[in-house]
Chain A
Amino acid sequence: MSKNFPADSVGVVKPTVQHFTDPLMLDCGRALAEYDLIYETYGKLNEQRSNAILICHALSGDHHAAGFHSEEDKKPGWWDSAIGPNKPIDTNQFFVVCLNNLGGCKGSTGPVSINPLTGKLYGPTFPIVTVRDWVESQARLADTLGISKWAAVIGGSLGGMQTLQWTLQYPERVSHALVIAAAPRLSAQNIAFNEVARQAILSDPEFYKGRYYEHNTVPRRGLMLARMIGHITYLSDEAMRAKFGRELKEGKLNFGFDEAEFQVESYLHYQGRSFVGRFDANTYLLMTKALDYFDPAREFNHDLVKTLANVQAKFMVISFTSDWRFSPERSREIVQALLRNRKSVNYAEINANQGHDAFLMPIPDYMAIFHAYMQQVAKEVNV
């Protein structure tokens, strides 16, 4: 490992692409005849293949969860705070797998991939994928890696929903489920925010019904707006106040609309702009739909208790006090349903003022719970 990286970093990592040729039937009725999944792994798979951990990413995440892509890389993976030697997901003990989900734009098959049937980019013709479809594809990746059972499936936000789906879809393949800052389904308010984000993209004149690639452009303003709206919901009122207050960029009012005047505006513009450079608008649309559609209890007459009756995994559910996107009450719905089924469940509500984003941050109380639980997992799989 390079001396430039901290001792608790996994160091330089390289993604792998796995090609699949077994058609994948999707919830929407269409099928993917073939597809790629890009993934990274950290740590070593033990001989019994019992120490594998699956990390599921959230809305704008990808397969690069930890470490760096080169010696010069300044920015580690999106969950580097939790993954690495001696971190809660300890890569000295576990073999960690993280993939980019189908429909993504970072190397797994998605709108920016070539459709083998047409020889052209999928673009807006890429089928709408669901959390169930993702779990199915993740299970196939597990098969190719020789992992019949995950020691743990772990995810925050939309990643937590995939974790929950795993315990329903493949109950026998998950020993532990860590569902963090998640919900058993979106609320009307959540869907409303997603719809505003989608409309921002869809109404951008540069969107061209999703065929913007053919016009050599991107719906820059729409995607930027979508990300700005997203960011408002990721932070708490308190965190925004602490971070920006009413600070003015230039220290004075400019009586105009041309520039960002308040620091919070400047922050949102920056987040929006940088997102445009690294994310695809069609993928964003797909991811928000996957969120909206997720509702495993729908098949059980909206009874979450019945929905979770057959899960076998042991659960650790974590929420954050200031998270209003997926509030603690939403996590408690999951906990309540598990309790009523007499399932093994732990629940921690972390005192944090960072809002939904807290799940990505190394908050000491959060890390302590996370670490303690993962040590129990390690004990069980004898690592």
Chain B
Amino acid sequence: MIAEGKKLRTELALITEWIKPNSHVLDLGCGDGTLLLHLKETRQTTGYGVEIDHHEIVQCIESGINVIQANLNHGLEDFKEDTFDYVIMTLALQAIERPDILLRDMLRIGREVIVTFPNFGHWAARMHLLAGRMPISRALPNEWYNTANIHLCSMKDFEHLCAQLDVKILQCAAVDTAHRSTPAMKRFPNLMGEVAVYRLQK
């Protein structure tokens, strides 16, 4: 999946803190395998990445990361129930055709799910909408007509979906695009957070 904006290493650090050592991990939209490589080195994890882009797959192989070429919009039927300790998807949820169905599928195959997405409730996005335009920001750099982000949501929207799907939110953080968290983001995450990070369980 195409994630707009740059994934920075600090985001990986945040997710890494949540991962228990020796876990079996699936990273959906794993890109060049940076996160999995980091987890493998720092948390001794095993697992696979799923990626659609040919060039990213070549890079995964070059890094020694196991990668499966697949389109996330076609579901996760190759994977069995409760196979993974964590199913991770960073900055891709908003580009999925049916995020609700994929989220349920992720929870089927993983004991825990970690997702990150650009928060559409961020104050800058709200300012753009108040001015009558679709938001363009560091987290959402493309125009409405050429963006891969077809299902944008705010943190409130996402939590509403979780409630509907009966999904438990274990942990949540709001960060900026450099994935730092400030006190303001902690107090008003849906207003101040540019990127939302959630840890979920069914």
A residues whose Cβ falls under 8 Å from a Cβ of B: 316, 332, 335-336, 339-340, 342, 344-351, 365, 368-369, 372-373, 375-376
Contacts and interface: CB of A to CB of B under 8 A. Distances in A.
Contact of A373 (B61, B68, B70, B78): B61
A119 B117 CA distance: 75
A266 B107 CA distance: 55
B24 to A, nearest CB: 7
B58 A347 contact: no
Given A339-B68, A339-B83, 15 more contacts: A316-B61, A332-B78, A336-B78, A339-B80, A345-B66, A346-B60, A347-B67, A347-B70, A349-B69, A350-B54, A368-B58, A369-B57, A369-B58, A372-B58, A372-B62
B69 A376 contact: no
A37 B55 CA distance: 40
Interface string B35-60: 00000000000101000001001101
Contact of B69 (A336, A344, A347, A368): A347
Interface residues on B, range: 10 to 19
B132 interface: no
Interface string B59-103: 011101011111000000011100100000000000000000000
A319 to B, nearest CB: 9
18 contacts: A316-B61, A335-B78, A339-B48, A339-B68, A339-B78, A339-B80, A340-B80, A342-B83, A346-B60, A346-B67, A347-B67, A347-B68, A347-B70, A348-B57, A351-B54, A372-B61, A373-B61, A376-B64
Contacts of A365: 54
Given A339-B48, A372-B61, A344 B78 contact: no
A340 B58 CA distance: 23
Interface of B is mostly: mixed
Contact of A376 (B24, B57, B61, B78): B61
Contacts of B58: 368-369, 372
Contacts of B79: 339-340
Contacts of B80: 339-340
A38 B183 CA distance: 74
Nearest to A375: B62
A346 B69 CA distance: 8
A372 B61 CA distance: 6
Nearest to A372: B61
Nearest to B57: A348
A10 B30 CA distance: 38
B83 A340 contact: yes
Nearest to A348: B69
B64 to A, nearest CB: 6
Nearest 3 interchain pairs by C-beta: A372-B61, A336-B78, A347-B68
Nearest to A328: B69
Contacts of A348: 54, 57, 69
B24 A342 contact: yes
A343 to B, nearest CB: 9
Contacts of A340: 79-80, 83
Given A340-B80, A351-B54, A365-B54, A335 B68 contact: yes
A101 B51 CA distance: 37
B62 A376 contact: yes
A369 B58 CA distance: 6
Contacts of A316: 61
A345 B65 CA distance: 9
Nearest to A305: B80
